Amino acid sequence: MARQIQSLHWLSNGRAGWNIVTALDGNENFGLAEMPSAEERYARAAEFTEVVRLLWESYPADAIRADRVSGVYADTARVRSIAHVGRHLSVKGPLTLPCFGNARVPLIQAGASPAGRNFAASIADAVFASTPDKQAAMDLRLDLRRRAEGHGRQAGDILVMPGLSLYLADSRAEAKDLFAATHAHADRARAIASVRAMIGLDLADWPQDKRITIGDLPTMPQAPRSRTHSELLRRAILRDEPTVDELLRLPEVMASAHWQIVGTVDDALAEIRDWMADAAIDGFIAVPGGSVTSMRLVLERLVPSLADAGLFRKHYEASTFIGHLAER
């Protein structure tokens, strides 16, 4: 892993990053009957990340001499073994690939459970977050910044960048039609099964006109597929008391709990400006949906509008990924 990512970093001139994901599924690929708990997964992730970083540091860029006259390629005194022996991994090293200059590889994380947040706060440069509403984003950002300080970091060392699902058109009516058409063939039975897996509530025979309240919810399943999404869904029910149809259209059910904007470029600009003004986010991961036109509206009209509003750069000052994060 250390070699592959550092190789990409060299090939891209410092524009590679590492999205550290502990996964929700795939345990059978590794001979495990069940997924380990969040605590176990993040304990392994922390050690894994530490070892990768030690391997990168084991061959610093300034060890390269490339002196044709003397025939010395590298100063071997600067290259060292890491001799790591831990609970999950035993790695001697060193890496046989030098680090890329002074631009390190940014670390991205997406954990939102207590264990995930603590891990992210300890190492991440940015967090790819599921924040379907502004308050969720504000709470997450404040918590991560506090946790970062608890790890001896600066609060601003960690950026919150939620996924933003954008269904944009020239009018709100067209955007709503685009959203409806995109999800017209959604599998209702699958969505109901997903809700049942997340919060234990069976909506198969739920009356269409009966609203769902927090009092209707059973005890949280012992091992939900994603505790983060389960808690976000329970929070949405507490806030909105939706009908079944309204619940199944929530981003917590159909869009990985991403922030969602369905409307015009001006609508998106206004909402992004509002979230930024309330210190809910440091940026976002744009996920244009529904059509190529929606994507073009994001790139050709929304981004320039954000730049004109002082919410996005007009020119790049850096040439590396970590540099772009620093100059946001």
DSSP string, 260-295: EEEE-HHHHHHHHHHHHHTT--S--EEEE-S-HHHH
pTM given for the model: 0.85
Q: What is the pLDDT of residue 147?
A: 97
What confidence score (pLDDT) does residue 319 get?
94
**CATH code, 2-162+322-326:** 3.20.20.30
CA distance 282 to 276: 7
Structure tokens at 216: 């209707």
Q: What is the pLDDT of residue 68?
A: 93
Whether 98 and 64 have beta carbons less than 8 Å apart is answered as yes
Write the pLDDT tens digit of every residue in 41-86.
899 999 999 999 999 999 999 999 999 999 999 999 999 999 999 9
Burial label, 77 (beta-carbon count in 10 A; 0-12, 13-18, 19+): exposed
Instruction: Give the model's pLDDT for residue 225.
Output: 64
Query: Which residue positions in the chain have pLDDT lower than 70?
Result: 221-226, 255, 328
> Residue 164 pairs with which residues in a beta bridge?
259, 286
* 136-164 tens-digit pLDDT: 999 999 999 999 999 999 999 999 999 99
Closest-CA residue to 229 (of 244, 251, 248, 206): 251
- In the structure encoding, which two tokens stand for residue 94, read together? 């060193």
